[in-house]
Amino acid sequence: MSREMIAQVIKETTGVSKTLANATVSNLISEIARSLKREGKFALVGFGTLKVARRAARKGRNPATGAQIKIKASKTIRFKPSGTLRRSI
């Protein structure tokens, strides 16, 4: 589902303008990103939790040449669905 699709659902269900629906989606995504950066997690009851996870530096292989490469440490986001969401699927 894209931002546009989410904005369309908001527009249809609330009757607000397309501009306001797009702004709502943008503000929601910005707040989720801000919460992940500040607190390291974002929880939406009934949907699930997003958490920042750290990946350690490791060795990998270049699939084209088979040569060993170093992969730097990085951060990623993990999603854990709520029990309600899991049961609904």
The domains of the chain are located at: 1-39, 52-89
Per-residue model confidence as pLDDT tens digits over 39-54: 999 999 999 999 999 9
How far is it, in rounded angstroms, from Cα 15 to Cα 24? 13
Whole-model pTM? 0.75
Per-residue model confidence as pLDDT tens digits over 49-85: 999 999 999 999 999 999 999 999 999 999 999 999 9
Helices (H), 15-68: 18-39
How far is it, in rounded angstroms, from Cα 52 to Cα 40? 5
